[in-house]
Amino acid sequence: MFNRTRCLQITAALASISLVAGCGLISGDGGEDGKRIVVGTTSAPSTLDPAAAWDGSWELYRNVYQTLLAFPTGSLKPQPDAAQSCEFTDSVNESYRCTLRKGLKFSNGEPLDSKAVKHSFDRIRTINSKVGPKDLFGSLDKIETPDAQTVVFHLKASDATFPYVLGSPAASLVAPKDYPADKLREDGKITGSGPYVLDEYVEKEKAELTGYADYQGFAQRRNDGVTIRYFDDSGKMVASLKDKKIDATYRGLTADEIKGLQSPQSRDLGIQVVANVGAEIRYLVFNPKDPVVRQLPVRQAIAQVVDRGTLISEVYQGTAEPLYSMVPKGVLGHKTPFFDKFAHPDVPKAKKLLKEAGIQTPVDLSFFYTTDRYGSSTEAEFKELKRQLEDSGLFRVALEGKPWKEFQAGYKNGQYPVFGRGWFPDFPDPDNFIAPFVGKENAVGTPYEPPAILNDLLPKSRRSGDRSAVSSQFEEAQKIFADDVRLLPLWQGKLYVASGEDIAGTERALDPQTAMQMWELYRKTSW
């Protein structure tokens, strides 16, 4: 942990902050008056049950549920959390054994033993939710519990990434008495063993978290409690920060709001901003069931027209950068196959593609996006995409925005011809930017089964425990993505945390999955 008791050290640690105001002493109890830290976000949970969420709900899960492994700040490899130790027990990465910490228990008093771990994973696969994380456990065959402290995961095939999955909130551990084996829990409560317990939850409004006294794990809690406020509009969230009704914000800030929070006027209000390098990406998905975009020349023409540079300058104002692969910059094996194939926007080339395929123009397209998941900039982004495509004279685009729950159900049921998604990594490995998007059932709900990726590249890469040795497989997979244009990467963004000057720990608060680790936040006391 950083020593934050000296102003010089604070300044060094927060080099990326636009303003470091007020040198303070650490306060381990949330401040001299015990006042709770209030954090605002635009990403409300879609459900409180981990068996039915593969989305931003993980931000809450990370703080209230425990996992066998986790990613402490700065770690790119999973480290023990509920487990005391974990390891592969064979040479081909098909058998993985974890030994639990002794004395673990859930907040309802129930022991967190090997049977509870098995129950947590079995129910994910039994419930088989369309919007749940079951696909992340595709390599899992069966689980054995030789004793109360030991869990053995037997895999169908070699999978060196399995420990990374165990370190994600997809692997949240739940109490068997409160979470049925064959259906979702729907009473609006959470029973976990993480750093916090959920005292109160009001859907789309707030979550009240209090430190869990019996927590055993890697997290070192710097406060006694946190209130998470959920906003449907980032403008309201920023206003609340300026009015000191909340102490910090994360997720969903627009480019204009970020620039405003970095301005001298905001600094005068005592606001500081941390810019975190992140692997957040945005992309379009083309539905192969749609008679229009199932045609490769149509997808290629769209890719040839989209101008990422203009999109970013007009909508994101430097808070994002163009992305030419589903594997973002900074992740092992990143290449730029979409730039290599389509280079700069070129309307004549797009027109030629359509003409040679005998496709009449303008081509009618329907684009769908979510109105309340990724922030207020999403609508502006899709309006800019519509403008670019229609200005080419080759397309007519209809736009439709839907709230997240409806949007999520729609794309999982194959209802949308073209739709926009964001991706926040489940774990920091290139596998997580390729594997979730392929297979008959995948993260975007549109079957995509490239044989070379599914039968050769992914299996080969997963046999290697040395993740630095698998770049060539993922480079080839990225080329296949660009050839097929079933997904069209658009941009990669930074993540920003804004807070009052009396709040410290924001520079350490985001984990590799970009979830906010609330336990890192604390309120500074004055000299």
What is the per-residue pLDDT for 277?
66
* Residue in 521, 516, 523, 513 with CA at minimum distance from that of residue 75: 513
Strands 395-402 and 363-370: parallel
What is the per-residue pLDDT for 254?
84
Give the span between the Cα atoms of 114 and 223, in whole angstroms. Answer: 30
What is the per-residue pLDDT for 465?
85
Q: What is the pLDDT of residues 293-319, one digit of tens each?
A: 999 999 999 999 999 999 999 998 878
Dihedral, CA atoms, 386, 388, 391, 396, nearest 10 degrees? -30
What integer best gives the mean pLDDT of the chain?
90
What is the per-residue pLDDT for 359?
98
Q: What is the pLDDT of residues 56-105, one digit of tens each?
A: 899 999 999 999 999 888 788 899 999 999 999 999 999 999 999 999 99
Give the span between the Cα atoms of 286 and 404, in whole angstroms. Answer: 18
pLDDT band at 8 (very low <50, low <70, confident <90, very high): very low
Phi and psi of 65, rounded to 5°?
-105, 155
Give the span between the Cα atoms of 138 and 288, in whole angstroms. Answer: 23
Report whether pLDDT(16) > 80.
no
Strands 522-523 and 503-504: antiparallel
Report whether pLDDT(31) > 60.
no
What is the per-residue pLDDT for 495?
82
Report whether pLDDT(518) > 80.
yes
What is the per-residue pLDDT for 34?
57
